[in-house]
Structures are given as structure tokens and as C-alpha cells.
Structure 1
Amino acid sequence: MGKHFFMNNTVTTSTTPSLMLQGTSSNAGKSVLTAALCRILLQDGLSVAPFKAQNMALNSFVTPNGEEIGRAQAVQAAACRLEPDVRMNPVLLKPSSDTGSQVIVMGKPVANMRVKEYVKYKPTAFAHVQSAYDSIAAEHDVMVLEGAGSPAEINLKAHDIVNMQMARYAKAKVLLVGDIDRGGVFASLVGTMELLDAWEKDLVAGFVLNRFRGDVTLLDSALDFTTNRTEKSFFGVVPFLTQLGLPEEDSVTFKESIGRQLPLRDDALDIVLLDLPHIANFTDVDALTIEPDVSLRVVNSLDKLGKPDCIIIPGSKNTPGDLHWLHESGLAVAIINFAKAGGVVTGICGGFQMLGETVSDPVSIEYVAQQSSEIDVHLHATQQGLGLLPLRTVMGEEKVLTRVTAIHAPTGNSVTGYEIHHGITESTGAQKLDSAIIREDGVIIGYGLADSHDFQAVWGTYLHGVFDDDKFRRAFINDLRVRKGLAPLQGVQASFSIDPALDRLADTVRDALDMKKIYEVLGL
């Protein structure tokens, strides 16, 4: 398919039909609906791929080629039964402070940029976006695009590369999604349309209401009023979906979903996930939430810590800053005392680094200062870790991005996942360390201190997705049960696979949307 583009007016001659989901706000459910439509189109015999020009997220994934993309696009790729591809998310922003982000283009870090720096860089970023879209769209029958935030953010529209400018470039039909659960959805839909330019309004095919609870017929008058006011019809009302069984992209949604866990058995283990200010790849614990004997809590203050059976320190996009927060909040001392008393503490990626004695970021790879202050200077230097493992970490400019097959050394269980980190972590030699996770190439990417149990009481690893393997996860949980004086549960108790969840999602969304109408606007 021949394609070309002009940077001045972002016109393309793409002939690949495309549908785009934009929202009246962030967290309107665009990512999940994009995945649903990808699976529906695949079920209907079409070759389909997802695309998000620019994603801002701390939850990322590594493609088979060692390139970093947003986790949501990896889930959407799974919905299409495709391997994650960097072309699906050519620009990824990973915030490291309120005013700065690491900018990742075509899967590789370019630089840490503040907002104004990135705005200047956006024409270059958009050129990569256009090239990526042209390439992947040429390989498929139909594309499903996802926007970001709202297309009506008038302070951002002048340099937009992810919403209406991308829709115009792809000649996409836009469905505007509103989250009715949060209230004010009809005002949001009408207000969004009022703030769009004429050419942007022309791209909007219609609306989708998301996360509705109740009798849909009660909405008839409101739907009619909104259609009469905007001249845009509704393509459907999607019900509020619980227990999706899919990784969440947004940490707010993730924490809300944890709070909606089903009632658990009396002998459930109490596992705490620390809610770091710059928490990243929190989906590393997703698989634990499906286990019948696990209660997962998200904790961000000392008074909520309680007496858990295990503390998990997750990844972080600002390990020095989050270490500082742990010490300032009093959680660091509590974690140290918990471990000394025999408690189980596990760290993943940034959390693994924090378990050591020091973390140094000499050239500000992760920490982006918001202002000049004594704290900023301190955070540029070496931070004291928790001192639970004799390790030191130094942040380096080279970023490790790789898919991994490995072995959990103490039990021999196989594990798979991926590495995303700048740090190089080494032993200080202060005491004997034992291997925890060993890659198939022999590189050790996890350490712990051995005791009399199958798992080390304190251990950490750079391996994201370490709990996804059913057998390994059950061994870990059973070790916690034994430490608590409970009998282990025999055999795998729960299977962690998102494919059945994607089919269930697609079935529900297909029933809720007018798919005939969607096919008509796509010309399919």
C-alpha cells in the first residue's frame, strides 16, 4: 500500500481502515476497550493491530527485540494474538518527577526531558510516529488506535501527536469514550465536542458510554438529548466490568481493583505491596491476586503496614527518590525490623536495588530535580538502601532491555519475564550471598540470603513477571504458608493467562456495542 505524509498538515494516503478510541478524560477505559475491539475484529477473521502514538506510563513491557513499550499495548497485542511490536507504541514517556520524564522513542531511551524540552522535540517524535504507523498499518487489514487523555485539552492541542492529529494522519474514525461511573459524563461529551475544531468534530463518528451500572433503558432520554445537541450518535453502552483478569495500565485503577477483591478463605496470607511514589510495573503482582489463599494490600504509610506475612517492594522510576521517601515515612525502619524478625521481604527491579546497602545515581539517570535544593543535591549522590542484602547499585546510562528465561536457584523452578533497568547491582562482599534467579545464559539477576526454607526470607530480582509462572508462584506462596505454620496447598491453585480474559471481555463488549455500525464506518 503506497503511503506518504506531509509534516505541515499531517496528511496520509493510508488505505488501511482504522478506528480510534479517544476519551473525555484519562482513565475512561480506552485501553481496555481497544483490547476488546482488537479481539472482536480478530475473532471476525481480520488481521488487526493496536497503535498508540504516545503513551505516558510507568508500566512498561519489553518486546522480543529488546525494545520498551507501554504494557497496555502489549496486552492489546495479545488481544490480536501478535507479539508486542515497538511500532505499536513508538513514543513512551516514563515520568520521573512532576516536571520531567524519560523519553523513549522506538523502544530506546533518548533523554530525560522537562515539558518544554519535550514540546520542542515533538516534531521529531511525530516523524517517528508516522513512520511506525505507516509500517505496521501496511501489514494488517484494520488498525485500532488509542488516544491519550482528552482531545479537548486546549493547552495541549497545538502540539498534539496522539489524539486528533494522529486520527487525521491515519484517517481514523473516532469513537469518543465517556466514563459514566465517575459522573458528569454527558456534560463531558458535550463539552468535549464544543472545544473541538470543525475538522476534529468531523473525525468523530460517535460516542461510547463506559462502566455503566444498571438498566440501560433509563439512559434513553439522556442519549437522545446528547445526540440532538452534538449530532453524534451512540455506538453502545458498556457495563461496569469487575475482575477483568487483565493487567491495569494506570496505578489508580490497579489500586481500586485490589480493593474489589472477592472474599477470601480464612487462612489467606496477608501480602503487602508498597505503594511507592514512583511505582512502576506494579502488574508484577497481578498473578498473586488470583490465588485463593492470598490477600494483597497496597500500603503507602506506616500506620497501614500492620503485620503482614510478606512485604513486596516493587519497581520504581525514581529509585533514589523513593528510597528517600521510605526513610522519611518511617517505612524503611519498619521493613528492616520486620526482616530482622524473620519476615519475608521481596524486591523487584527498583525494589531489589533498595534492598541493598547503597544506590548511586551519579549522572541523574532516574532522578530529575524539580528545583534546586539541598534535597535535590542529596538525591543526585548516593542513597542509603535498606541494608538487608550486601549489594550496591550504580545507575548507568545504558539501559538493560531484554526478555528472559531463568531458573529460581533454590527450587529449580523455571521463570520467564523481562528486564528493564539502568542499574548495575553487585555484591559488596560484606557477607555471603546466595543466587535467587539465574538467567539461562548464566547471569545472576537475583540474590538472597539463604535460611532453612525453600525460598530466601529476603530476596530480590531484576526479573519483571517473576510471579506469572503458576508453579513458581505456588511454591512461593506455599513457602509463606509453611513459615506461618499452615499446610501447603498441593498443586497449582490458579492459572494466570490473559487469553481467556480477553475472550470474556470481547464477548461482553460485542454485546454492548453496535458492531454492524462500527463495520459500516470502517467500510468493512
Structure 2
Amino acid sequence: MKEKAFPHGGNLRALAAEAGRDPSEILDASASINPLGPPPWLRDVLSAAVADLVHYPDPDCTALLEAASARYGAPASHFVAGNGTSQLLFALPRCTGLARAVIPSPAYTDYAVACHKSGMDVRRLPGSEFDGFAPQLDRIEAVLRSPSLVVIASPANPTGVVTDATAIIELAGRHPQSLFLVDEAFADFVPGFTSLAGEDRPHNVAVLLSLTKSFAIPGLRLGLLAASPDLADWVRRTLAPWSVGTLPQAVGLRALADRTFLEDTRAALPGLRQRLAEGLAGLGLTVFPSQANFLLARLSLSGPNAPEVCRRLLTEHGVALRDCTNFSGLSDRYLRLAVRPEAETDRILDALAAVLAACPMPASRPRPKTPALMVQGTTSSAGKSVLTAGLCRLLARAGYKVAPFKSQNMSLNSGVTADGLEMGRAQIVQARACRLAPDARMNPILLKPTSDLGSQVIVLGKPVGTMRVADYIAYKPTAFAAAREAYDALAGQADVMVLEGAGSPAEVNLKAHDIVNMAMARHAGASVLLAADIDRGGAYAGLLGTMECLPEAERALVAGYVLNRFRGDATLLAPANDYLAQRTGQGVLAVVPFLSDLGLPDEDSVTFKDGQSLPDTPPADPTLLDIAVIDLPHLSNATDCDALAVEPDTRLRRVREAGKLGRPDAVLLPGSKNTLADLAWLQDSGLAAALTTLAAAGTTEIVGICAGLQMLGETVADPLGLESDRGHTAGLGLLPLTTRLAAEKTLTATDAVHTPSKLPLHGYEIHHGITIIQGDAAALDIIAARADGQPLAYARKDAPIWGAYLHGLFDADAFRRQFLNTLRQRRGQEPITRLTPYDIDPALDRLADVLEERLGLATVRRLLGL
């Protein structure tokens, strides 16, 4: 019977058997042990302890724990000794009483195994190679809504990244009901490392300490746990008697007193590690910075994968490396290599060069297209943007360098990149899913409707003009050339691409000049997932009809279907799925459930306007804050209120009619792509008069964002006809400001400070307007400004009326809570001090979890040809 594969490195017997060699012939760099080997005193200590083998070992490890106390500066009662840190790791979760574990990944496999075996629900938080797998303590904090066991390795395995000890202590202090287990197994290799095993360790921090790695004695199995006395005692009682034998106790006692050997190790390691890193980089591998005695490296997609490389290295050269495929959050392209002495490093590099040279890319072969997968839909609002974001996060968690792309996006929800370029909000969310900074190449063409017939056209982040439909159709070849160039540049930096279509590929009136659906799929060589919103009805007819409208060449690009937003038992769909497969030749690959309260920003204002995201009635609970958002006809950047919606004491509602405005705690006047037309609508609808009445009462806070700020002023002028031909319109007259729309568009990511509260703000500006104080300047306060002194926000001194040019200002947790507490105090309620984090990462991970379950990473990789 075939043996079950051992999920760790260092199984020398199995490695030798697979290689068909004697164990002495194997160079084992799969286990990360001190490259200097064991200390010179090891044999003497073992020999001296042999005489004691006729007696049972000390079950309390008394001398060993006293030595640990002297080494780390905590009482002996804080320490537990075990048969390696693995024994302690598997014992600890059962002693915590916690039902949930949070594990940043990639991480050592047994963290999750130990928690699962204790009945815990495990939440993994995958990192990204784009930030060097740096620890994301803010992401951990965002998911600590219930007491949890948080496992943090420092240095992390397999990345070698160190987490700041002070930051861990501060996080633990903010979450006293959670337990933070810090694995310092490789800490002895890091110069100047600050251990958390000392006496000043918080009560809810426990530390795993390994002696076998740093002293190169893994065969002796010896580890320590530092914890609060109560937890240490509980773990100690959980272990079997005599867990640590006589020889390990003797060696551990000597090792804990030996600082010189560790100093020599730390002095030698950087040079050996650098030699290995440079050699790997010279072979074309991506090498990640490490402070430990190992390196994580990624193989190119154009060559063999890690399992194949490891197999050939072992069988052909007797060299064992660690294939990282079974690390959560890494793909089959990653290797972990132990730092070894120079001669062994040279042997590793020579063997690796030989294996990679045996599988070269022929010099005559052009660079292959980057593997690509595209999500198209049978209709608009089929969930393409959300599915694309979920696929991006799923692939990023698997260790792929993935980037999103949508060649053309029509949306009034946009944002600004760090370099001042405008792009669709959906692609900003998808970039976040990939753990990338937003890049205008991800959405090279953005259309922002200004009327029913015309749109502002933005190419690679900059406006090129406002065009009517016929003008834009004539411009499309130029736009598509820019989109293809942007895609090629972006794809050249990625392992895989995930593209999003627009509307439907079956719009027969648009197919002749399509630049976003099948034309883009052909350019990218992408497999297409066709999605339908089954919650709206007609999904099967939509899928079948779409396929019937496609020519054969485009039908061949469709790899399968996704039924999105399903409520109920998916097995009941089997007959319809069979019918669809028989009629079209393609099957349903996934049924994605309806995910209520997902918490991702909308691509455009469709869900806002049809009531999916906000109700139009006041909250039933009178204790909740009532915030009314004015539903302007040309509303833009509705996502500015998303962060407010996460607050437990707040309910938002949209208002279109003056009769439904009532007396809310606050009114939000959002952005607009046709400010003058929307001002006229406010007057005609009676909402302008209703807002003026509320302003006079002084009990409702009136807030304008961007165009909303402009509307609060005395006048808005558009002399160049940038948004309409109205020229000039009176504002609401609630702030002594005038605005003129100018040709130059302000596009900038901005940091500022809210002057009254001294709280930081961060957001972005997207506007043509130049706003100045006109009239009684003494009636206004400038409550935020750019670094250059240019005002960003104004407030009335005598009334709760203010406005700002800063989109996204409510995303700042502390400022948002301060704003809401002001509303609470106005109605006589106590302020809330606890902050509710606004973070979309948990939603992206939840989405990826669902896609991993319903579609499967294996299916996604197959569709990508990986």
C-alpha cells in the first residue's frame, strides 16, 4: 500500500527511497536547520547524559524550565516543555475554550490542522507577494469580531517575514478576549529580534520556542511554550507524562545557556543567505526577502512547476527542496529553500540550473499570451464585477500574480489612482482583490454619462472630451487601440489576467464596434465564463439566447456558465442545466448563492437607484440615526456613503421626493455628473425648498460632497458647456460660495486633516469646479485643506451645514464615528467610542470562499490552462 505523503520537509528516509539513493547522498534543503550544524558540545552533553537513561526523566523538566526562565526573563511557571513545538501546538487549541482561529497565510500547514482537530472554525487571511507577504495586522483586526485564537509566525514560514512585536502587543491589548499565539521557531536566526516570551508579555499572548532548528537537533524533539501561568498549567496537564526525555532535557539545558553559538550563527547567516538569493535570481526565480534561515522563491510560469522541479532535483541530483503547493495561499510555482553552507548552496544551484535548462522555452518561440479568464454576462447587472473581484481574490490567495482588466466601463462611480488618474470604482475594488494598487491601465476607457445622449470620455485616466454616441463610435478604433496597448503592458507584468465584459456580448446593434466583450476576449486569448442573474428570472433563456446570437467563433470562446445570486437548493436546477448543456454544448460550472450584505462597493448607481442597496423609508427603530441620501438624477460616486452603512447605530435611505424627506438626523447631497441639471431638478421636485426649511430649523446636519458642495453655494456656472448648455444656475444658497466649472479637471488622491476634530482624512478629488467664497466670509470656517493650502471643505459657523470636495472622506473610521457621534449628541444620545472598521477585505475573502466551494480553484486553473 502506498504511503500517505508526509506534508512537511525533512523526511530523509522517504526522500532517499524516492530518489533511489542512500540517505547519506541526499542534500536536504527541504527542512530549515542551522547551516552551521549542531554546536561542538553536543556529543559531550549526550555522552554525559547516557548514564541517566536508567532513570525516568524529570516529568516536570524542572532544570530545563529554570534555564528558560533565565534565558527569557519570565518565571519558570510561564513555560511548558514539549516533544517539539508540534506537540505543544496541537495541545494548545484544546485548552483555550475558543471556537474560532484566524491564521494569516501563507503559513505552516499544521497551524490549521491543529485548530481543526480541536473543533475550531479556521479563517485564513491570505497575503500577497506584491507587498512581500508583509504581515497585515489591520486585516487581522478587521475580522476579530468574536474572540479568536490568532496564530502569527515571526519569522513567518515559508516567507521569513518578521512581525513587529510592539504591534502584536498593541493588537492583543485591543482584543483581550482573543489569544495571540506567536510562533518564534526561527527567531534565533534574526539579529536584534525582540522575543515576546519575557515577563512583560500580555496575558493573552503565548509564544512557541524551538531549540531544534537553531541548534540543528531536530531528531531530539524539544520545544517550549511561554504563556500565562494558568494557560501554561492547563497545557502542561494536557500533555502525556514524560513528554520530554532525558537526552533532550540535557541538551536543552545546555543550549539555553549558549549565546555564543547563536551569535556565530547570526553572523554567518546573512552572507550564506545572500549567496543563495543571488544564485536563484540569476536562474530567473523571483526571490522574496527573508530574515530567517530559508528563502521563498517563485518559478516562472513559462517553465516547470514546483512539484516537477522538486521531483527531478531529487531523482536526478539527490537534492531535496520544499514544494510549497500545500501551503495555503501559495500556488504550485513556489519553492522554499533552506540556507546551507557554501558548497551545498553551489550544489543546489547547479542542480536547479540543470533541471530548468532541461525544460527551456525555445528561443524562437514568442512569449506566450498571459493566461486569461473573462467574465461576461447575459445582461447588465448580472454580477460580472463582483464575480471578477472574487476570481481575482481566489487566484491571489493561491499565490498567482493576478491583475484585473475592463477595457471600457460606463459608470459614474470612479476613483483616482495615486498618480492622479481616474478609473472605474469596480476596477479599484478588483485591484484590491488582487492586492494591487489601482492602475489606470486596468480600466483604460471610462465613460461618464452627462446626459441621455452624451458622456465624458476618459482614456488612461485623463478626460479627452465629451462625446455624443455617434462621435464616440467614430472614436472607438482609437480607444480600442489604447485599450489593447494597456492590456498588453499590464498582462506582461502578471501571471494571470481576469477580465470583465460589459452589458451583454449578444447586443447585435453594438457587435460591429465591440471593444469590451468578445473582441477583447479574442485579443487576450481568454476563456469566457458567461454569467446570468437567476434571482431576476429568465436566466436560462438569457444564456440560451445569448449563445444563439453569437457566431461560431465566439461561441467557441465560452467555456461554461455561472448562475449567479441563487436562493435555494441548487440540486433542483439539474434538469434545466442538462437541457442547457444539450442545446448549447456547454454546461453550468457553478451556481453561486445570493450573498446578502456582501459589503462591496457598487460598480455604478444601478443598485442604488433600484433600491437594492438602500431603502426609501426611515428606520423602524427610532434609536437609530436616520441619514437621507438625495437620489439625484445624475448622481455619481454613490459609494461615498458605503462606509456609513456599516455602522450599527445608523440607517441610510434614499430620497427622491420632498414629501418623503421628513426630518432626518442628516442629509447627504452627493456628487453629480450634471450639476446644473440636478440643481434644476431639486428646485422642480420641491427638495430645494425642503432642504432650506431643514437648514433653517438647525436640527438636521446637511452635508454636500463634491457637486453636493457646489449645490450648497449661491451659484454654479458652466460657461464652457462641460456638463450641459444651461450656462448658469442658482444654488441652494446655504453656503456663501460660488463655483465655476473649468476646462482643467482636478484628479488627485488627497490627505488632509479635519480641523475641528484634528482627525486625519484621506480620499480623492474628481471635479471641474473652482469654488471661491462669495459674500460673508466671516460666516464660514475652512475645515479641511490640501497641503498647498487650497481649501477642501467649508462649514457654516451658525448652522450644521458643511461640504467637502473629498470623495471617500467617510471611509476614515475615526472621522466617521466623530461625525455620527455629533448627530447622536444633537438628539441627546451618548456617543459610541468603539470604532467599526470599514474594510472590504473580509467581503472579498468571503466571496473567494464561495467561489472556491462552488466553482473550485481546480476548475479556474483548468480554464486558464494552468
Which TM-score band (shorter chain)? over 0.9
Counterparts of 1:262-301 in structure 2, within 5 Å, are: 266-301=622-657
* 2:674 equivalent to 1:318: yes
* 2:810 equivalent to 1:495: no
Contact 1:67 1:107 in 2 (8 A): yes
Say which of 687, 693, 703 aligns to 1:346: 703
Say which of 829, 834, 840 aligns to 1:486: 829
Say which of 67, 72, 78 aligns to 2:432: 78
* 2:398 equivalent to 1:44: yes
Whichever of the two has the greater Rg, that structure is 2
Distance 1:490 1:363 in 2: 48
- How far apart are residue 258 of structure 1 and its match? 2.1
Unaligned stretches of 5+ residues in structure 1: 2-11, 368-375
Q: Aligned AA for 1:402?
A: T
Q: Secondary structure in 1 aligned to 2:392?
A: helix
Write out per-residue CA displacement over residues 8-51 of structure 1, whole angstroms, 9 at most, x where no aligned residue.
xxxx9751000000000000000000000000000001000000
- How far apart are residue 265 of structure 1 and its match? 5.5
* Larger displacement relative to structure 2 (475-484 or 72-81): 475-484
* Larger displacement relative to structure 2 (68-77 or 432-441): 432-441
Distance 2:620 2:667 in 1: 19
Distance 1:35 1:263 in 2: 31
Q: Aligned AA for 1:32?
A: V
- How far apart are residue 522 of structure 1 and its match? 1.1
Percent of aligned pairs sharing the same letter: 58
Match in the other structure for 1:4: none
Write out per-residue CA displacement over residues 144-181 of structure 1, whole angstroms, 9 at most, x where no aligned residue.
00000000000000000000000000000000000000
Q: Aligned AA for 1:291?
A: E
Match in the other structure for 2:101: none
Say which of 822, 832, 847 aligns to 1:505: 847
Write out per-residue CA displacement over residues 198-228 of structure 1, whole angstroms, 9 at most, x where no aligned residue.
1110111111100000000000000010011
Quote the RMSD (CA, aligned, Å): 1.6
Match in the other structure for 2:536: 182
Distance 1:84 1:107 in 2: 11
Contact 1:92 1:104 in 2 (8 A): yes
Q: Secondary structure in 1 aligned to 2:710?
A: helix
Q: Secondary structure in 1 aligned to 2:732?
A: coil
Match in the other structure for 2:269: none
Distance 1:303 1:260 in 2: 12
Match in the other structure for 2:860: 518
Q: Aligned AA for 1:442?
A: G
Query: TM-score normalised to the size of structure 2?
Result: 0.56
Distance 2:437 2:860 in 1: 26
Contact 2:617 2:653 in 1 (8 A): no
Contact 1:174 1:205 in 2 (8 A): yes
Distance 1:238 1:465 in 2: 30
Q: Aligned AA for 1:284?
A: D
Q: Aligned AA for 2:683?
A: H
Q: Is the alpha carbon distance of 1:127 and 1:156 closer, same or farther for their aligned partners in structure 2, counting shifts above 3 Å?
A: same
Say which of 714, 720, 745 aligns to 1:357: 714
Say which of 16, 39, 48 aligns to 2:370: 16
Match in the other structure for 2:40: none
Contact 1:175 1:205 in 2 (8 A): yes
Match in the other structure for 1:440: 787
Say which of 309, 329, 346 aligns to 2:685: 329
Q: Is the alpha carbon distance of 1:197 and 1:438 closer, same or farther for their aligned partners in structure 2, counting shifts above 3 Å?
A: same
Query: TM-score normalised to the size of structure 1?
Result: 0.93
Distance 1:214 1:263 in 2: 29
Contact 1:352 1:462 in 2 (8 A): yes
Contact 1:415 1:466 in 2 (8 A): yes
- How far apart are residue 509 of structure 1 and its match? 1.8
Counterparts of 1:185-224 in structure 2, within 5 Å, are: 185-224=539-578
Q: Aligned AA for 2:674?
A: N
Q: Secondary structure in 1 aligned to 2:843?
A: helix
Stretches (4+) displaced over 6 A: 260-264
Match in the other structure for 1:410: 756
Q: Aligned AA for 1:293?
A: D
Contact 1:235 1:514 in 2 (8 A): no
* 2:804 equivalent to 1:464: no
Say which of 772, 788, 806 aligns to 1:426: 772
- How far apart are residue 521 of structure 1 and its match? 2.2
Count residues with an aligned counterpart: 498
Q: Aligned AA for 2:582?
A: N
Distance 2:573 2:605 in 1: 30
Q: Aligned AA for 2:708?
A: G
- How far apart are residue 409 of structure 1 and its match? 1.2
- How far apart are residue 84 of structure 1 and its match? 0.2
Contact 1:52 1:73 in 2 (8 A): yes
Contact 1:14 1:171 in 2 (8 A): no
Distance 1:333 1:258 in 2: 24
Distance 1:219 1:268 in 2: 41
Distance 1:154 1:36 in 2: 29
Say which of 717, 730, 739 aligns to 1:384: 730
Match in the other structure for 1:370: none
Contact 1:265 1:292 in 2 (8 A): no
- How far apart are residue 263 of structure 1 and its match? 8.2
- How far apart are residue 262 of structure 1 and its match? 13
Match in the other structure for 1:53: 407
Q: Secondary structure in 1 aligned to 2:432?
A: helix
- How far apart are residue 429 of structure 1 and its match? 2.9
Distance 2:834 2:865 in 1: 50
Match in the other structure for 2:388: 34
Q: Aligned AA for 1:334?
A: A
Contact 2:370 2:492 in 1 (8 A): yes
Counterparts of 1:147-186 in structure 2, within 5 Å, are: 147-186=501-540
Distance 2:368 2:678 in 1: 45
Contact 2:445 2:459 in 1 (8 A): yes
Contact 1:105 1:125 in 2 (8 A): yes
Q: Aligned AA for 2:631?
A: D
Counterparts of 1:113-152 in structure 2, within 5 Å, are: 113-152=467-506
Q: Aligned AA for 1:112?
A: T
Q: Secondary structure in 2 aligned to 1:509?
A: helix
- How far apart are residue 245 of structure 1 and its match? 1.2
Distance 1:427 1:521 in 2: 58
